[in-house]
């Protein structure tokens, strides 16, 4: 899968894609990431990419011509590239949308500065707008990294052989159960007995119950969407009873 990042700040992307799962996906050639400097598409002597807003007001607005040329350059090579404008005004990203985005072969992520881009960019060149949550970033760069990370890890082979994205939180709308590794005891706190029992059935049940408990207390909104089995409902009943007792 290919990602083009259209930005005024190419250096922000120099190291994030060299680490961890994403770095490995890049190394293996599962994902190709190209940084496109919008300033290279400003043809005037001073390579101006922004200007004051018509009608007055604070801040600067990104000009239409350099962005338009950059996008046309991407599209000339691959007309099927999907152009996504990263903006807090976009549709909020969730795991379902991440999954849908992973089915495109080529995404071009346009990073705007917070004050905005000329409206004609959206009208003429943008296929969709994406936000990563209800808070304000000073530009779309970090949001683009979030999209690339979340999408790339879903590509076949990205997580390595024995792990699958299927198990992750949100796939089935539950938060993850707690994990432990050595040492067995740390400042008087021990690992739950059941995890040492070797009883895989009991361990699965405990983990499912903890996942349900965590989701119930932290994100009850997710439980409404989760696909729950008969056993899940029994576990939830147990959890409710236990919380009444304690
Ligand atoms: Cl995509 N951009 C900016 N500037 N702020 C954001 C965002 C994007 N998503 C959430 N906040």
Residue 115 among the catalytic residues: yes
pLDDT score, position 246: 79
| Beta strand extents in 112-173 (DSSP E only) | 128-131
Using the mean position of ligand 1's atoms as its centre, give its distance from the Cα of residue 5 in Å.
15
Instruction: Identify whether the C-beta of residue 107 lies closer than 8 Å to the C-beta of residue 6.
Output: no
Residue 4 among the catalytic residues: no
pLDDT score, position 162: 46
Which member of 113, 153, 210, 232 is catalytic?
Answer: 153
Q: What 8-state DSSP symbol labels residue 176?
A: P
Using the mean position of ligand 1's atoms as its centre, give its distance from the Cα of residue 137 in Å.
5
User: Is any ligand 1 atom within 6 A of the Cβ of residue 14?
Assistant: no
- What's the pTM value of the predicted model, to 2 decimals? 0.94
DSSP string, 185-242: EETTEE--GGGGS--HHHHHHHHHHHHHHHHHHH-HHHHTTS---HHHHHHHHHHHHH
Kindly calculate the radius of gyration of the chain based on its CA atoms and give it in whole angstroms. Answer: 23
Q: Which atom of ligand 1 is nearest to the CA of 139?
A: 4
Pick the residue whose CA is nearest to atom 8 on ligand 1.
87
Residue 72 among the catalytic residues: no
Instruction: For a ligand 1 pocket test, name from 112, 140, 147 the mutation site with the most ligand atoms within 8 angstroms of its C-beta.
Output: 140
Residues of the chain with pLDDT under 70: 161-171
Using the mean position of ligand 1's atoms as its centre, give its distance from the Cα of residue 38 in Å.
18
């Amino acid at each position: 899968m290919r990602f083009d990042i259209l930005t005024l700040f190419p250096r922000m992307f120099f190291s994030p894609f060299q680490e961890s799962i994403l770095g490995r996906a890049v190394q293996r050639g599962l994902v190709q990431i190209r940084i496109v400097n919008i300033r290279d598409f400003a043809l005037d002597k001073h390579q101006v990419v922004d200007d004051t807003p018509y009608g007055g007001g604070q801040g600067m607005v990104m000009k239409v011509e350099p962005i338009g040329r950059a996008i046309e350059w991407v599209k000339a090579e691959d007309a099927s590239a999907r152009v996504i404008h990263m903006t807090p005004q976009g549709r909020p990203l969730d795991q379902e949308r991440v999954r849908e985005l992973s089915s495109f072969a080529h995404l071009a992520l346009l990073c705007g500065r917070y004050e905005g881009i000329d409206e004609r960019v959206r009208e003429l060149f943008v296929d969709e707008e994406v936000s990563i949550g209800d808070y304000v970033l000073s530009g779309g760069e970090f949001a683009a990294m979030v999209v690339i990370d979340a999408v790339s890890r879903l590509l076949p082979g990205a997580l390595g052989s024995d792990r699958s994205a299927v198990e992750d939180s949100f796939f089935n709308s539950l938060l993850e159960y707690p994990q432990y590794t050595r040492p067995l005891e740390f400042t008087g706190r021990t690992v739950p007995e059941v995890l040492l029992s070797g009883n895989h059935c009991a361990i699965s049940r405990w983990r499912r119950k903890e996942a349900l408990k965590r989701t119930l207390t932290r994100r009850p909104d997710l439980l409404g969407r989760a696909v729950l089995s008969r056993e899940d409902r029994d576990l939830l009943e147990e959890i409710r009873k236990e919380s009444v007792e304690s």
